[in-house]
Amino acid sequence: MKALSQKRRHPLAALALLVLGLMLTGGLYAVVTTVNEAKADTTTFTAQQVEEGEKLFVANCATCHGVGASGTDAGPSLAGVGAAAVDFQVGTGRMPMQMQGPQARQKPKQFNADQTRELSAYVATLGDGPALPEEQFIDGKGNAAAGGELFRVNCAMCHNAAAAGGALTRGKFAPALAGVSNSHMYSAMVTGPQNMPVFNDANISPEGKRDIITFLNTIENQGSPGGAKLGSLGPVSEGLFLWTAVMGVVIGFTIWLTSRPS
């Protein structure tokens, strides 16, 4: 015991403990990285899709995102963004970007469905990230009422209660959700594109996301049973529009009445 106590007081004891701590930390990091890579490689994509996706990436995306998608000053690293991020960004035409701006705008797609899937396959191998949504969660057969409640609590402050979109700060905006595919809606929720927060399964369960998608499908399909939408901007703007219209009629009638010859 005396010899052990003397060793603890040795000047190199602290250095030895530091080296041991660094080795332990490095070993744990290596294990975690290996697990992530194994998860990233365990996908439904084929080796050919990954190979073709890498070719497409080098030819069309590496200018901004760098060779190996490590990131540059013009674009972020794509390690760990997952296949779902590519499904949304490329599948809606937002990527490749047409020009730099506050946020990527939707435009005609540059890649077809097969090419988008190949790009997704390649990016999925770069690190663990959100995978493509399962068909059972994008079938639009969830609970629309429950989805409406989740949407109003989590999404309506940006996208509007009727999903008509809305303005944000510094030239940014939340887009209208009419015409967006179920797959892209799910991918957006799990990846958080642009200024949208990420809604992982701890925030909103896959079943909850399915309900939200069902709600959005429902309000899009039912149209506007109450009459003209007036942009679906809400009661304040709609009331202002009505007040302005009525006052215009009153003023016009007053001018007409007073201009009549006596």
Binding positions for heme c: 61, 64-65, 155, 158-159
We find that the CATH architecture of domain 135-233 is Orthogonal Bundle (1.10)
Output the average pLDDT for the chain.
84
* Cα distance between residue 39 and residue 29, in whole Å: 15
CA quadruple 190, 191, 193, 195: dihedral positive or negative? positive
Predicted pLDDT of residue 35: 43
Domain ranges of the chain: 41-124, 135-233
Write the pLDDT tens digit of every residue in 135-144: 999 999 999 9
Residue 154 has pLDDT above 90, yes or no: yes
The answer to whether 41-124 and 135-233 have equal CATH topology is: yes
Binding positions: 61, 64-65, 155, 158-159
Q: Give the domain 41-124 fold.
A: Cytochrome Bc1 Complex; Chain D, domain 2 (1.10.760)
Predicted pLDDT of residue 5: 54
Predicted pLDDT of residue 14: 67
Least confident of 22-26, 31-35, 154-158, 222-226: 31-35
Phi first, then psi, for residue 152 (nearest 5°) are -65, -35
